[in-house]
Chain A
Amino acid sequence: MSEGFSPERRPRRAAFVIAAGLAGLAALILVDAAGLKQDGGYAGVGPADVPRIVAYGLLGLAVMTVVSGLRGDLPRPPRQAPAPVLWILGGLVAQLALLHVVGFVISGALLFGMTARGFGQRPLWKAVAVGLVLSLVIYGVFDRLLKLNLPGGPLELLIFRG
């Protein structure tokens, strides 16, 4: 992601990407605002007006981001290791996808295990096993004891309702 060794005050590509993102967000808002009722009632300020102001603000900031990018004003991130990031995101996605299928305990154990793996803990199965114990305890305390409703799956049924 970073451009390595380039000296200071060189134009920064990242700034242009950020500016494009801001402009894109502004465009989304403006398109949405165009589809809203323009009627502000007695206030005179309708549902589309404030989003429009925010969108113009974002456009202005996008321009200034380009200017500052040309001047090279943006911190340079240290070299990033992609693997740990992917492990953690994988854990989060796994939890999202599996939560309502296998329940809180197993999906939580996966999230815990994959995050720990991302931080260098090996082997993966051991990390998942620790996660399993932890999320079982959490489920027991919060769902069973405190009645905070957490999605259950086969494992929860087996252990707590069997």
Chain B
Amino acid sequence: MKHAILGVAFAAALAVPAFAQDYTIMAPANPGGGWDGTARAMQEVLQAEGIAPSVEVVNVPGAGGTVGLAQFVADSAGDPTKLIVGGYVMVGAILTNASPVTLKDVTPIARLTGDTEAIVVPAASDIQTLEQLVEKMKADPGSVSWAGGSAGGTDHILVGLLAKAAGVDPTKINYVAFSGGGEAMAAILGNQVTAGVSSVGEFAEQVKAGTMRLLAVSSAERLPGIEAPTIKEAGFDVVVENWRMVAAAPGLTPEQVAKISGDIEKLNSSEGWTKMLADKGWTNTYLAGDAFAAQLDADIAATETVLRDIGLVK
């Protein structure tokens, strides 16, 4: 291993003077969002753990990350110091916006964190289980209003998948898109909508305080410390994970990719990262290499199908 790192460092010596290399991480979103948070968390830990001496974060907001992605591919090709943060939402945004640049144009390094989605109802609702909610939707899809994030995002996809699995026409769901998590949550707390979808983490405090009822989570297995069945257990074959990843520029040599993967692995196994994830309430879902590449392909295919079903992609 030491040998490999020395070799890589030697190969990169022309471009980079030191062993440790600087990074510029692009967060393809405005400050304050999940991707920006991930990028800044990486920045902090990479620097604090001495993995990279200096890390910069660049925000390029727009269109679900596709503006940043396009700029990243155009400007960074062949540059081993450039990284981009992205995630599941980007998969959907690339399809709905018919983006000419896709995730095939970058070099995925690793999946870092993931959020499980949760389905909740207001505490005052008479709906007790996911089955009851789905029954109501089957009887009259319009009468079940869903509050969630932007149209075509993870929350919307989950509702579409659930409707499909339950035999309800996905184009008939009454999905009400809110901008930002806060407003959707306010609508659920204020009993304005029938049900809500967002990440488990965002609802956790409310559920603990008893202001919302957690009906189901979207993971494959039950989550530790959370008393709610998975959607699968309720009899609907739906598993959704809102993951976040880091990718490198296109056109890198295998040595350069190995160096970056090594740094990200170091990041992942560092104590600082573990503590950071705990502070932020993110789950570590680290997955690298071929396993991640295969997962990415599967997600892209599945997302395309559901977006067609909902009617957002033609």
Contact = CB atoms under 8 A, between A and B. Distances in A.
Contacts, number: 11
A77 interface: no
A149 B56 contact: yes
Contact of B58 (A41, A42, A149): A149
B57 A41 contact: no
8 closest Cβ pairs, A-B complex:
A149-B58, A42-B174, A42-B142, A147-B56, A149-B56, A147-B57, A41-B174, A149-B57
A147 B59 CA distance: 11
Contacts of B59: 149
Contacts of B142: 42
Interface string B140-184: 001001000000000000000000000000000010000000000
A41 B24 CA distance: 43
Interface of A: 41-42, 147, 149
A147 B31 CA distance: 13
A136 B59 CA distance: 22
SS class of chain A's interface: helix, strand, loop or mixed? loop
A149 B40 CA distance: 13
A85 B178 CA distance: 43
Contacts of B174: 41-42
Nearest to A39: B311
A147 B58 CA distance: 9
B14 to A, nearest CB: 16
A146 to B, nearest CB: 11
A144 to B, nearest CB: 10
A147 B44 CA distance: 12
Chain B interface category by residue count = under 10
A149 B43 CA distance: 14
Contacts of A42: 142, 145, 174
Contacts of A41: 174
Interface in B46-102: 56-59
A147 B54 CA distance: 10
Contacts of B57: 147, 149
A42 B142 CA distance: 7
A41 B177 CA distance: 12
Nearest to A37: B311
B121 to A, nearest CB: 19
A147 B24 CA distance: 11
Contacts of A147: 56-57
B71 to A, nearest CB: 10
A1 B58 CA distance: 43
Nearest to A100: B75
Contacts of B145: 42
A158 to B, nearest CB: 15
Contacts of A149: 24, 56-59
Contacts of B24: 149
Contacts of B56: 147, 149
B32 to A, nearest CB: 15
11 contacts: A41-B174, A42-B142, A42-B145, A42-B174, A147-B56, A147-B57, A149-B24, A149-B56, A149-B57, A149-B58, A149-B59
A41 B145 CA distance: 12
A143 to B, nearest CB: 9
B147 to A, nearest CB: 13
Nearest to B142: A42
A41 B56 CA distance: 43
A149 B56 CA distance: 7
Given A149-B57, A149-B58, 9 more contacts: A41-B174, A42-B142, A42-B145, A42-B174, A147-B56, A147-B57, A149-B24, A149-B56, A149-B59
A116 B174 CA distance: 57
A147 B56 CA distance: 6
A41 B146 CA distance: 13
A128 B145 CA distance: 60
A42 B194 CA distance: 14
B196 to A, nearest CB: 17
